[in-house]
Amino acid sequence: ETGVTQTPRHLVMGMTNKKSLKCEQHLGHNAMYWYKQSAKKPLELMFVYSLEERVENNSVPSRFSPECPNSSHLFLHLHTLQPEDSALYLCASSQESGVNSPLHFGNGTRLTVT
Amino acid sequence: AQSVAQPEDQVNVAEGNPLTVKCTYSVSGNPYLFWYVQYPNRGLQFLLKYITGDNLVKGSYGFEAEFNKSQTSFHLKKPSALVSDSALYFCAVRDRDTGRRALTFGSGTRLQVQP
């Protein structure tokens, strides 16, 4: 069983809705990530948080807004999304002190924008 | 900049035969290299990594990968494939000299092992 839990597993939302994705890690890690996975495309890094501070933001549209209230929790707030934002959103965590430590992923949230 | 190429969308192999999933990378410095596997409706799971030292790296479930610096490759291999190995495989790289934290992933290769 993964040490990274994502909720909800599935989400369908209209373009005018506001929703949030939640990620919680139980591994004692201090870095957390959001990735977007679309079919037949490389995983796209969206945001990186280290010690609760955002350290990378890869030109993600402002309709995606991350929040990291503590080292165990990460949120992705969504508003006025587009159909092309439909994808699997993956949360991951790692131990910051080990630069080559592997990422641990959650099972993802399958988002459909209608 | 760091990037990864997985040239095959899908690899088909018969059970019991050896398998290879190809990966090439590009970094400005020296690489940390990783392989992950994704089963249906699941997140990615770590398989193995190359940091330094021996070019042949052994990982989970009998998989191994060979780092080749001159060819900038890090191909994933297994001597005898199992049907349960059927999944989506991702190669990833981090440039150890830039200090960037996040991994860059390839587009994935679907491995299909036929009974």
Instruction: Measure the CA–CA gap between B22 and B12, rounded to whole angstroms.
Output: 13
Instruction: Give the pLDDT mean for B28-43.
Output: 92
Q: Across all residues in chain A, what is the average pLDDT?
A: 90
Tokens, residue A25 = 């890690």
Distance in angstroms (rounded) separating the CA atoms of residues A49 and B102: 10
Cβ within 8 Å, pair A40-B107: yes
- Contact assessment for residue A14 and residue A114, using Cβ atoms and an 8 Å cutoff: yes
Taking only the tens place, the pLDDT of each residue in A85-101 is 999 999 999 987 556 78
Sign, CA dihedral A97-A100-A101-A107, equals: positive
Q: How many CB pairs under 8 A join A and B?
A: 62
Q: How far apart are CA A92 and CA A19, in angstroms?
A: 20
pLDDT at A99: 61
Q: Which residues of B touch A34 (CB under 8 A)?
A: none
Closest approach of chain A CAs to the CA of B106, in angstroms? Answer: 5
List the structure tokens of B84: 């349960």
Beta bridge partners of A77: A20, A65
CA–CA min distance A5, chain B (Å): 10
**Strand B109-114 vs strand B87-95: parallel, antiparallel, or unpaired?**
antiparallel
pLDDT of A13 strictly over 60: yes
Closest to B5 in 3D by CA, of B67, B93, B70: B93
pLDDT tens figures, B49-103: 999 889 999 999 999 999 999 999 999 999 999 999 999 999 999 888 776 667 8
Q: Best mutation site among B90, B105, B110 for testing chain A: the one with the most A CBs within 10 Å?
A: B105
CB contact under 8 A, A33 and B49: no
Residue B43 touches chain A, beta carbons under 8 Å? yes
What residues form DSSP beta bridges with B77?
B20, B64
C-beta separation of B103 from B4 below 8 A: no
Give buried/exposed letters for A85-106 (b at 16+ CB in 10 A, else e).
bbbbbbbbbbebeeeebbbbbb
